[in-house]
Amino acid sequence: MADKVLSLLTAAFENPTLQKELHTAKTPETFVNIAAENGYNLTKEELATALGKVHVVFGEVVQSMMSDLITAAESNNGSNRKVLNTEKVSGTNVDLVKRLFSRGEAFDSEGFITFFTDTPVYQFGNFDVCTDKQSIKKSADNFFSQIDAVYHEIKMMWEVGDLVFVEMDVFYWRKDGSMVSLPCTDIFRVQGDKFSELRIFMDVNPVFDPAIPVPPSASVMTVTEGKELVPPGTMRRHFAEHPEAVQRIAQGYVPKWSTAGPRWSIGEVNHINQTSAVASPQQFQAVGELAQAVMAQNWEKVKSYLTDDVFYKVGSGEHRYGQQQVIDFFKHTFQNIAVFTGHKVRKVWQEPDIITMEMDAFYEMVGTKKRVTISCCDIYRMRGNKVCEWRVYADMSPWGEDNHKVVTINKNQNSEVFPVIVVFQVEPSRQQELLNNIMNYGGSLMRHQPGFISSSLHKSLDGTRVINYTQWQSSKHYETARNSVGSQAPEIFKTFIPDSRVYEIVQQTIA
């Protein structure tokens, strides 16, 4: 019995063609049939028994060897780049995900939708949910038309039952030749050999607006202390090694990153895998209590659940290091932008020292008291029972849609806010046209400039005046922003020339 399997494996090691044939097998039945076609007759039971014995004999040895290799690799790397747990892969469903990504990277929307059931749920960030294949295809085609290439640099990919989680950087090459890398996490639900649900958690807005800053630390390859993981190059290897991918390239379905964007060659990038068990109940409890402490704004208690060197980041925003920076971020956000009022957790998954939560997060905007719901996926990496890395994958643009956001000024630090008041004299018949232009100019350009805090637009009831009141962190920030994007001001500003002046707050009366 074991001799049959060992003979087959020996032949496969020496025969690359047989290797590829056996690699295509997705079920034990298919594997046994391929073996029989090559003269190796065995049953599923014989295969299972033999492989079980191989695992028993070699399992601990392989685990020990992998640990030694990982330790050696880490010690040989420099201080800024590190080989860590960059990709955990298992099962047929993971292969299904990579095959789907290959369709996207080749801009093959027709092939993309064949991976979904007839009644799918597909959501990209906060965009409308697609519930049929044609809606998904239309969404994909629209997106492909706005970029030159896309690549999925996978950091972690793991399978839990009928679910697959993917954490990655997604590289986008814009039509102007520039590139942006954005952090992303995907959750797939599998039904049979199709996807019944795909939810993509990320802020994709920087793809369409290059003015939105994305710091290098936004990468999911950034870990505690600012060290960088070595990218595994999973999809580049997929196109080079997977029989289906090789065949599709021969048929003309090449990834766009090999013909546009970076024009990468298709090839292999080495990496190391490692495996482990599940998060402890104490870690899970700590994450739940952390959320309650944040809602209660009990900052000392929040600190008790964070390591001293905690790494925190929301979407593509700036990262925060250390307990105090995280607390300061929460305080500023709750005071000036939105208050976190609760969440509805849809699903929780646990890995060794990793807790993943898919949820709807509820906020109340500071200025308008408007209630906002943001779909997000939080990933907590634990050190003991404290969070050492906390990443929030979500599209936070609904915060920016609150056009009447009010900034509360610290009574003792008024000089930290610099108002700019811009006054327009306008013909009543063109007041609304001017308002529309100002809102478009401010919403698409000015609000993304460094140092911008808020904007409030006013119109006189007699139709002859428009006043835009903005707040900046400093007069220098405002001057820099005006010099940067002033040339893109609307044409109507040449007709109704604005009187723009920087002011200093002398006194403010607060109830």
- Closest to 287 (Cα-Cα) out of 333, 339, 364, 345: 345
Q: Would the pLDDT of 72 be above 50? A: no
Q: pLDDT band at residue 508, thresholds of 50, 70 and 90?
A: low
**Given 3.30.70.100, 3.40.47.10, 3.40.50.460, 2.40.50.100, which CATH number is that of 414-502?**
3.30.70.100
Q: How far, in Å, CA of 432 to CA of 180, rounded?
A: 36
Tell me whether residue 94 is exposed, middle or buried, using C-beta atoms within 10 angstroms of its C-beta: 0 to 12, 13 to 18, 19 or more. buried
Q: How far, in Å, CA of 407 to CA of 454, rounded?
A: 7
Q: Which amino acid is at 206?
A: P
- Closest to 80 (Cα-Cα) out of 250, 222, 240: 222
- Range with the poorest average pLDDT among 61-65, 111-115, 356-360: 61-65
> Residue 253's Cα: distance from chain center in Å?
26
Structure-model confidence comparison of residues 308 and 269, the more confident one:
308
Q: Would the pLDDT of 410 be above 70? A: no
> Residue 198's Cα: distance from chain center in Å?
14
- What is the per-residue DSSP string for 118-153? EEEEEEETTSPPB-SHHHHHHHHHHHHTTEEEEEEE
Structure-model confidence comparison of residues 3 and 362, the more confident one:
362
Q: Would the pLDDT of 278 be above 60? A: no
- What is the per-residue DSSP string for 259-301? TSTT-PPP--------------HHHHHHHHHHHHHHHTT-HHH
Q: pLDDT band at residue 48, thresholds of 50, 70 and 90?
A: low
Name the token pair of 84. 């860590």
What Rg do the C-alpha atoms of the chain give, in angstroms?
Answer: 27
Structure-model confidence comparison of residues 88 and 322, the more confident one:
322
**In this predicted structure, what is the pLDDT of residue 51?**
61
Tell me whether residue 403 is exposed, middle or buried, using C-beta atoms within 10 angstroms of its C-beta: 0 to 12, 13 to 18, 19 or more. middle
Which residues lie closer than 8 Å to 248 by C-beta, 6 or more apart?
102, 106
Q: Which amino acid is at 88?
A: K
Reported as a single tens digit per residue, the pLDDT across 379-407 is 999 888 899 999 999 887 777 655 444 44
| Longest CA span, the chain | 94
Q: How far, in Å, CA of 240 to CA of 249, rounded?
A: 9
Structure-model confidence comparison of residues 69 and 344, the more confident one:
344
Exposure string (b/e) for 186-205, b if CB count within 10 Å is 16 or more? Answer: bbbbbeeeebbbbbbbbbbb
CA–CA distances in Å: residue 224 to residues 112, 308, 312, 376, 473? 36, 11, 9, 22, 29
Which residues lie closer than 8 Å to 444 by C-beta, 6 or more apart?
209, 211
- Do the Cβ atoms of 326 and 342 come closer than 8 Å? no
**In this predicted structure, what is the pLDDT of residue 26?**
62
- Same topology for domains 281-400 and 414-502, yes or no? no
Report strand pairing: 452-459 vs 386-394: unpaired
Tell me whether residue 452 is exposed, middle or buried, using C-beta atoms within 10 angstroms of its C-beta: 0 to 12, 13 to 18, 19 or more. middle
Reported as a single tens digit per residue, the pLDDT across 431-448 is 988 888 888 777 667 777
**Given 3.10.20.30, 2.40.50.140, 3.10.450.50, 1.10.260.40, which CATH number is that of 81-258?**
3.10.450.50
Which residues lie closer than 8 Å to 223 by C-beta, 6 or more apart?
82, 84, 229, 311, 389
Q: How far, in Å, CA of 155 to CA of 273, rounded?
A: 11
**Which residues make beta-bridge pairs with 158?**
165
Helix%, strand%, coil% for the chain, nearest 5: 40, 30, 30
Which residues lie closer than 8 Å to 324 by C-beta, 6 or more apart?
none
**Which residues make beta-bridge pairs with 171?**
151, 181
**In this predicted structure, what is the pLDDT of residue 87?**
45
Q: Would the pLDDT of 226 be above 70? A: no
Reported as a single tens digit per residue, the pLDDT across 179-223 is 889 999 999 999 988 999 999 999 999 998 888 888 878 888 877
Q: pLDDT band at residue 330, thresholds of 50, 70 and 90?
A: very high
Which value, to the nearest 10 degrees, does the dihedral of the CA atoms of residues 78, 84, 86, 91 take?
150
- Closest to 220 (Cα-Cα) out of 153, 173, 274, 276: 153
**Which residues make beta-bridge pairs with 189?**
163, 197
Name the token pair of 483. 């010099």
Specify the 3-state DSSP secondary structure of 209. Answer: coil
**In this predicted structure, what is the pLDDT of residue 312?**
93
Which residues lie closer than 8 Å to 307 by C-beta, 6 or more apart?
323, 383, 386, 387, 388
CATH domain 281-400 topology: Nuclear Transport Factor 2; Chain: A, (3.10.450)
CA–CA distances in Å: residue 203 to residues 169, 218, 277? 12, 11, 31
Q: Would the pLDDT of 52 be above 60? A: no
Q: pLDDT band at residue 250, thresholds of 50, 70 and 90?
A: confident
- Range with the poorest average pLDDT among 44-58, 99-113, 459-473: 44-58
Task: Supply the pTM of this predicted model.
Answer: 0.49
Specify the 3-state DSSP secondary structure of 480. Answer: helix
8-state DSSP, 6: H
Q: Would the pLDDT of 56 be above 60? A: no
Mean pLDDT of the chain: 79
**In this predicted structure, what is the pLDDT of residue 277?**
46
- Sequence spans of domains, the chain: 2-76, 81-258, 281-400, 414-502
**Which residues make beta-bridge pairs with 229?**
82
How much is the average pLDDT of 402-413?
Answer: 43
Q: How far, in Å, CA of 375 to CA of 357, rounded?
A: 11
